A and B are shown apart, each in its own frame.
Chain A
Amino acid sequence: MSTHAVGIDFRSNAKKALGDASLRASMRHAAETFASKRTGAFASVPVEDWRDRASEIRLNVLDNLPDYLDRFTAAATRAGAVVHRAKDAAAARETVAYLLKDRRVDKVVKSKSMVTEEIHLNDHLEMRGIEVVETDLGEYIIQIAGEAPSHIIVPAIHKNRRQVGKVFSEKLGVEYTDDPVVLTSIARKILRKEFLSAQAGISGANFAVAESGSLVLFTNEGNGRMVTTLPPLHIAVLSIEKIIPKLSDLAALVRLLPRSATGQTLTSYLSIITGTRRPHERTGSKELHIVLVDNGRSQILAGECRDMLKCIRCSACLNVCPVYRTVGGHAYGSTYPGPMGIILTTLLDGMNRAHPLLDATTLCGACNQVCPVKVPLVRLLRILREQRVEAGFTSPWERTAMAAFGFAAKSPTLFTAGQRLWKTFLPVLGIMERSGTVGRLPKPAGKTFRRRMS
């Protein structure tokens, strides 16, 4: 099928990743660290009650999203913000570029935001002659290295300290060191100057509160606070499903998001920003523009995978996924990796491009166990796999084999005959087929269950 050519080449990406010893070591270290932090964070708290409550809040949002969006827009506007709705990536990029160009901004500081990665905002702004400085340490590392994030919370997780040291010495002209403390202080010095001189800041948001028009940001480094309060112009870019109804709903999510993400009770900073600087205030942005990005969400909301929009981007499903933990984020060839990434990418980019990603799951269900808002990840993966078959994206071999199995399974005689055939020809197939896939299949039992029972 010719459409296969445009798909993400997950298999070859994964193969490359599996051969990269340093990546494997980084991922192994990350998996162990995340697992132990998570265990600590959820010890002796009523996690199931919390998950139920958080799931309820998110479902309520999806049931009433258009209404909440209107309420958010009204409240944020009352508080002094200007709210823009962008139906797709191009509209969102253009809105941000126009705001900056109109105010003659040529350099902007930015805090971490996955939706800006999704819409490729940085490339677009650079193309329009606006310099973008990422200020989250992990984002800064990959920005100067010229790479994309491989994890939604820890973007440079695929790099070890020596690789980071090398990037710093090559790109920043500093003396080589692999000490994280020294590397961090180098970035601090460089970025502090940028914060103080920037004419505008771009941030994402973890949540947006419908009732008050507030933006909520969880950060650890403090760059998010700088970006949103130091420059006179603050532009927040967020996808429409980030809405929560009331400020009081935040409590349930505050308890779950950092614990699920990094194993912290709470991130160092949690900022709740409502509108612009008021008359008697000395700090805060003078102008706040909020860009609500749809980019396919309304369509997802109307379809059978709408529960994906419950996701709060904590990354817990990445950290427990046996596939993600082995191959890392870049193999997915998409903005969002891991279980949530497979689903969201398929829904956002379409089956044509994303169908190979549906192989990047074992359907083991570890993701379902950890999701703080109970996104039914496995169910959604199954739905999308079914859709992949219906859309004709599986190989003719697989389809023929499945059809033959379906036919044979209806008749005891044919089924037994099939079992015998399989047992006889499997070793031969194993020799013929070179990729080793058949060779890795479990060996058939000597005596079938039915024969032993008869």
Chain B
Amino acid sequence: MKDKETVERFLRNAANAAAHTVLVFDVDAMNEAMKDILGTEGAVYCPRETEREKAVIVPEERFTDDYFNASICVEEVFGAIAETGSLICTSTGGRAVQANLLPSHHVALVSPEHIYPTLEDFFAACGDPPPTNITFITGPSRTADIELTLTIGVHGPERVSVIVC
């Protein structure tokens, strides 16, 4: 378990970037939170590769393995950065890097052990050579290209939910 302060700092900064954040301590609480987050509509993609992903309960009729046509992507991400409130997603292990880009709602499971306090901490740990694709996700897709008016959800997800568990 990373120190409480790092976890809290991550949650605070992710919330500042307009992500919806939840902190839970066991699988039951995670699924309780998930029920609220998933709501009742839309196809849900989940790779079901990691332990945490396998523990996620998705109603079978809503489950899909086609992220191109999913409304929601639930996945465990590689890690997070407390300093910036960012999720770290990588192509490590053949993960599909667009699975959390195409659906309009991204639900990220974050293990507290994988929260790096600062950018330097992550860059020092990301390996040489680094994975083909590393993407930091900080809040939902946004633009301010029309009159500098913030508009959420351009090409990527309009909602980002973060569950630290």
- Residues of chain A touching chain B, judged by Cβ–Cβ distance below 8 Å, are 26, 29-30, 33-34, 75, 78-79, 135-138, 141, 154-157, 159-161, 164, 180-181, 183-185, 187-188, 191-192, 195-196, 211-214, 220-223, 225-226, 229-230, 247-248, 250-251, 254-255, 262, 264-278, 280-284
Report how far A19 CA is from B45 CA in the complex, Å: 54
Q: Is the CB of A281 within 8 A of B91?
A: yes
Q: Which of A30, A223, A277 contacts B132 (CB 8 A)?
A: A277
CB-CB under 8 A from B128, the residues of chain A are: 211-212
Given A266-B84, A274-B130, A220 contacting B143 (CB threshold 8 A): yes
Residues A160 and B147 in contact, CB atoms below 8 Å apart: yes
Cβ–Cβ contact B151 & A265, under 8 A? no
Give, as a whole number of angstroms, the nearest-CB distance from A305 to chain B: 31
Q: Tell whether, in the assembled complex, residue A221 and residue B146 are in contact, meaning their CB atoms are under 8 Å apart.
A: no
Evaluate whether A188 and B155 lie within 8 angstroms (CB atoms) in the complex, with A29-B148, A157-B148, A268-B139 already known.
yes
**By the criterion CB–CB under 8 Å, are B146 and A184 in contact?**
yes
Chain A residues within an 8 Å CB radius of B132: 79, 273-278, 281, 284
**Chain A residue, CB-CB nearest to B104:** A188
A225 touches B145 (CB 8 A): no
- How far is A154 from B142 in the complex, measured between Cα atoms in Å? 13
From known contacts A221-B155, A265-B84, A282-B96, infer whether A136 and B119 are also in contact, taking CB-CB under 8 Å. no
- A267–B154 CA distance with the chains assembled, in angstroms: 13
Work out how many contacts link A and B, with CB atoms closer than 8 A.
177
Contact of A181 among B126, B130, B134, B151 (CB under 8 A): B151
Q: Check A273/B138 contact, CB under 8 A, given A154-B148, A184-B151, A251-B120.
A: no
**Does residue B140 face the partner (Cβ distance < 8 Å to A)?**
yes
Asked whether, in the complex, the Cβ of A137 is within 8 Å of the Cβ of B146, the reply is yes
In the complex, chain B residues whose CB is within 8 Å of the CB of A283? 91, 96-98, 133
Are B130 and A255 touching (Cβ within 8 A)?
no
Per a CB cutoff under 8 Å, which of A159, A161, A181, A267 touches B138? A267
Name 28 A/B residue pairs within 8 A (Cβ), A-sorted.
A33-B148, A135-B155, A137-B145, A141-B146, A157-B148, A161-B147, A183-B146, A187-B154, A212-B129, A220-B142, A220-B143, A221-B143, A230-B98, A251-B123, A254-B119, A265-B138, A266-B86, A268-B138, A268-B140, A269-B136, A271-B134, A272-B134, A275-B132, A276-B132, A278-B132, A282-B96, A283-B91, A283-B133
Residues of B near A272 (CB, < 8 A) are: 130, 133-135
List 16 additional A-B contacts (Cβ < 8 Å) besides A222-B154, A269-B138: A34-B148, A75-B129, A135-B155, A137-B154, A160-B147, A192-B155, A212-B130, A213-B129, A214-B130, A229-B97, A229-B101, A247-B130, A251-B119, A254-B84, A270-B136, A283-B96
Let me know if B133 and A266 touch, CB within 8 A. no
A277 to chain B: which residues have CB within 8 Å? 132
Q: Are A221 and B154 in contact (CB under 8 A)?
A: yes
- A-chain residues with CB within 8 Å of residue B142 when the two chains form the complex: 220-221, 268
Known contacts: A161-B147, A255-B119, A269-B156. The answer to whether A247 contacts B126 by CB under 8 A is: yes
A83 to chain B, nearest CB (A): 15
Interface residue? B124 (CB, 8 A):
yes
Q: Is the CB of A137 within 8 A of B86?
A: no
Q: Which residues of B are interface residues toward A (Cβ below 8 A)?
A: 13, 16-17, 68, 84-86, 91, 93-94, 96-98, 101, 118-120, 123-124, 126, 128-149, 151, 153-157
Which residues of A have CB within 8 Å of B138? 264-270
Most buried by A among B13, B128, B130: B130
Flag if B154 contacts A30 (CB, 8 Å). Answer: no
Which A residues are CB-close (under 8 A) to B68?
Answer: 196
In the bound complex, what is the Cα–Cα distance between A254 and B88 (angstroms)? Answer: 14
Neighbouring B residues of A248 by C-beta, 8 Å: 120, 123-124
A-side contacts of B98, CB under 8 Å: 225-226, 229-230, 283
Alpha-carbon distance A214/B139, docked complex (angstroms): 24
B residues less than 8 Å from A221 (CB atoms)? 141-143, 154-156
A137 to B144, CA, bound (A): 9
Residues of A within 8 A of B93 (CB): 280
Return the chain B residue nearest A196 by Cβ. B68
Q: What are the residues of chain A within 8 A of B123 when measuring CB–CB?
A: 247-248, 250-251
CA distance A192 to B133 in the complex (A): 21
A184 to B151, CA, bound (A): 8
Q: Which residues of chain B are near A34, meaning CB under 8 Å?
A: 148
Instruction: Please give the distance in Å from A276's CB to the nearest CB on chain B.
Output: 7
A280 close to B94 (CB less than 8 A)? yes
The answer for the CA separation of A255 and B101 in the assembled complex, in Å, is 24
Once the chains are docked, how many angstroms separate the CA of A79 from the CA of B144?
A: 35
CB <8 Å contact, A269 and B135: yes
Contacts of A141 in B (CB 8 A): 145-146
Residues of A within 8 A of B143 (CB): 137-138, 184, 220-221
Taking the closest CB of chain A, its distance from the CB of B157, in whole angstroms, is 8
Point out the residues of chain B lying under 8 angstroms from A250, CB to CB: 119, 123
Residues of A within 8 A of B94 (CB): 280-282
Q: How far is the CA of A196 from the CA of B69 in the complex (A)?
A: 12
Given A184-B143, A248-B124, A262-B144, A270 and B86 touching (CB < 8 A)? yes
